[in-house]
Structure 1
Amino acid sequence: MYAIFWLGAFGVLLLIEILTLGLTTIWFAVGALAAFLLTLVHASLAIQMIVFFIVSLVMLIFTRPIMTKYLNKKTTKTNAESLVGRRARVLIPVNNPVNNLKSEGQVMVNGMEWTARSTKDEVTFQKDEMVHIVGISGVKLIVEKENKEDNNL
């Protein structure tokens, strides 16, 4: 009876993992598989449950960082995230003393206007200056002085 339970749990957890692809239940699926194997040698329910929790925890702690490191390399930045690292042209001076309190600095990147702030309050950028996007805070682009190597507008 326990063998059917653990095998069913393994199948459900594996199905959830396949549907989500988020590395959320694979660790517990491996734990359920280990518990299932113990039912084949007639281990007690207590031993099965302990092994399930230990194997799941060990898999989670030791393999998750490795798996996420390799799987996250293949993700492509989308939407606003894709702007980080690009160049932008200043439309309205950024961090100009008049605009700074109102956060009215604007830049254009990919044909779209964005509100922008400098990484440092004392650094200002004037109209038509080129800047480098280093981050996003809410709906504002965070910009800094352009490096000479940046060529991807």
Structure 2
Amino acid sequence: MDWLWWVGAGLLFVLIEIISLDLVLIMFAGGAFAAAGVNAAGGPLWLQIITFAVVSAALLFSLRPWLLRHLRHRMPLTETGAAAQVGRSAVVVSRVTEMGGRVKLQGEIWSARTVDGSPELATGTEVRVVRIDGATAVVQSVASDSHTV
């Protein structure tokens, strides 16, 4: 009946995986179910622990990358948070230089700086976010955007 502990751990990993959707804990669940099988067959605790670790690692390093590639192929990854701001337009609310400034991006005020070598941007200039560097939006003028394309 000790195998039920492994099954319980496996089910707990599955439930937490449903919430997180990282495809990590489901691999641990597979290891726990394998360890439950070893326990049910009468294997000692040390063999159960090794089985759990080996099966979990094997699933994590072999099955997870394949699943992620397959899922991303079927469903494109949607950027969230700061990464989702790249490519969006903003308006300068406080002069922006290579050293700093402020822009209004998606209704929020962000600290910003220009792309290296870009001229300073005056208040009211429309800009495009090139990248996010920490909590700072790196921007360039939409007008200079069209000249570089």
Distance in 1 of aligned mates of 2:86 and 2:141: 14
Which residue does the alignment assign to 1:49? 49
Which residue does the alignment assign to 1:89? 91
8 Å contact from structure 2 (residues 89, 126) kept in 1: yes
Aligned residues: 141
- 5+ residue gaps in structure 2? none
Inter-CA distance 93–30: structure 2 relative to 1 (3 Å threshold): same
Instruction: Work out whether 1:133 is the aligned partner of 2:120.
Output: no
C-alpha deviation, 1:132, in angstroms: 1.6
Instruction: Work out whether 1:29 is the aligned partner of 2:53.
Output: no
Which residue does the alignment assign to 1:148? 146
Distance in 2 of aligned mates of 1:9 and 1:26: 11
Task: Provide the TM-score with structure 2 as the length reference.
Answer: 0.71
- 5+ residue gaps in structure 1? none
Query: Residue by residue, what CA displacement relative to the aligned partner does 1:35-75 show, whole Å, maximum 9, x if unpaired?
Result: 22334444444433322211011111223334445369444
Which residue does the alignment assign to 1:119? 115
What is the root-mean-square deviation in Å for CA atoms of aligned residues? 3.0
Distance in 1 of aligned mates of 2:129 and 2:39: 57
C-alpha deviation, 1:5, in angstroms: 2.3
C-alpha deviation, 1:145, in angstroms: 4.3
Distance in 2 of aligned mates of 1:6 and 1:114: 49
C-alpha deviation, 1:2, in angstroms: 2.9
Inter-CA distance 65–119: structure 2 relative to 1 (3 Å threshold): farther
C-alpha deviation, 1:13, in angstroms: 2.0
Inter-CA distance 45–75: structure 2 relative to 1 (3 Å threshold): same
Identity of aligned residues (%): 32
C-alpha deviation, 1:139, in angstroms: 3.9
Inter-CA distance 106–6: structure 2 relative to 1 (3 Å threshold): closer
